[in-house]
Homo-oligomer: A and B are copies of this chain.
């Protein structure tokens, strides 16, 4: 019930984690979720059920862990020459992935692991790290930029909130508007306040 945030890459613990995560992903691709059990997952991973129980507690905790791992970005945001282009491209892709069936399933799995599970915070860390890469590039170009937390508040948070609490899911244009609104009032482009009429 207290999953480890840091696992030494390549260590025994990391190998067990990898094997169990792989087993979950394989089994979820083959069967309905409610057919999965800890003994079944353990057998596929080649570990004992008690290893799984000891490390992850119950299935929701294990699924949360697998979902967090899947949410870890595998590439850096593309360098497109301007913060607005990069942030827009990233936010549209983020929205599309998270609003998809598998994306919604991942968010639900992460949260089903409980709001006391510290690993859920990795979701905002991953997004924040990607944002930081784009902000650092913009600063290197000489732009004055909003900070990482402001981008999380103004772009990521509304996308996630809409996916969680509104139907239908937001469209990609929603992400584009959030980015445009944020950068319209950033010091880099200080000017007249944005028109409200074009807001949703």
Contacts and interface: CB of A to CB of B under 8 A. Distances in A.
Given A149-B199, A161-B124, A161-B156, A108 B104 contact: no
A67 to B, nearest CB: 13
26 contacts: A104-B115, A108-B114, A111-B111, A111-B112, A120-B165, A121-B165, A124-B166, A144-B196, A146-B199, A147-B200, A150-B196, A153-B154, A153-B178, A154-B154, A156-B161, A157-B158, A157-B161, A158-B158, A160-B161, A160-B165, A161-B161, A185-B185, A185-B194, A186-B196, A187-B193, A190-B193
Interface in A116-163: 118, 120-121, 123-124, 144, 146-147, 149-150, 152-154, 156-158, 160-163
A146 B111 CA distance: 31
Q: Which bracket fits the contact residues of A?
A: 35 or more
Which 4 residue pairs spanning A and B have beta carbons closest together? A157-B161, A124-B165, A153-B158, A157-B158
- For the complex, would chain A's binding face be called helix, strand, loop or mixed by DSSP majority? helix
A121 B165 CA distance: 5
A192 interface: yes
A8 B121 CA distance: 41
Contacts of A156: 161
Nearest to A169: B115
Contacts of A199: 146-147, 149-150
Interface in A153-185: 153-154, 156-158, 160-167, 178, 185
Contacts of A161: 124, 152-153, 156-157, 160-161
A174 B124 CA distance: 17
A164 to B, nearest CB: 7
Interface centre among A105, A124, A157 (most CB of B within 10 A): A157
